[in-house]
Amino acid sequence: MAKFYVEDRQIVIPGDLLAEGRDVLVTTPYIYKSGDKFYATIAGLVQVNPEEKRLNLVPLEGAYLPRPGDVVIGVIIDVGLTYWVLDIKAPYTAILYASEALTKPFNPVQDDLRRYYSVGDYLVAKVLSFDRTKNPLLTIKDKGLGRITRGVVVDIKPSRTPRVVGKKGSMLNMLMSETGCNIVVGVNGRVWVRCPSKELEDIVVLAIKKIESEAYTTGLTDRVRMFIQEEKKRLEQS
Read off the pTM: 0.78
Task: Supply the pLDDT for residue 61.
Answer: 73
* Residue spans per domain, the chain: 3-59, 71-147, 152-237
pLDDT of residue 155: 96
Q: Name every residue whose Cβ is closer than 8 Å to that of residue 199 and which is 6 or more positions away in sequence.
A: 235
Question: Does domain 3-59 match CATH 2.60.120.10?
Answer: no
CB 68 within 8 A of CB 129: yes
Asked if 20 contacts 38 with a C-beta cutoff of 8 angstroms, the reply is yes
Whether the per-residue pLDDT at 193 is higher than 90: the answer is: yes
The hierarchical CATH code for the domain 152-237 is: 3.30.1370.10
What does the pLDDT average to over 50-60?
A: 86
- Tell me if 204 sits within 8 A of 185, measured CB to CB: no
The pLDDT assigned to 202 comes to 97
- pLDDT confidence of residue 218: 87
Burial, 143: exposed, middle or buried (Cβ in 10 Å; 0-12, 13-18, 19+)? exposed
pLDDT digits (tens, 9 = 90+) for 216-232: 888 999 999 999 999 99
Per residue in 127-172, pLDDT (tens digit) is 999 987 789 999 999 999 999 999 999 999 998 999 999 989 999 9
Domains 3-59 and 71-147 share a fold: yes
User: What architecture is domain 71-147?
Assistant: Beta Barrel (2.40)
Give tens-digit pLDDT for 61-88. Answer: 777 889 999 999 999 999 999 999 999 9
Query: Residues of the chain with pLDDT > 90: what percent?
Result: 74
Please give the average per-residue pLDDT across 185-206, as a whole number. 97
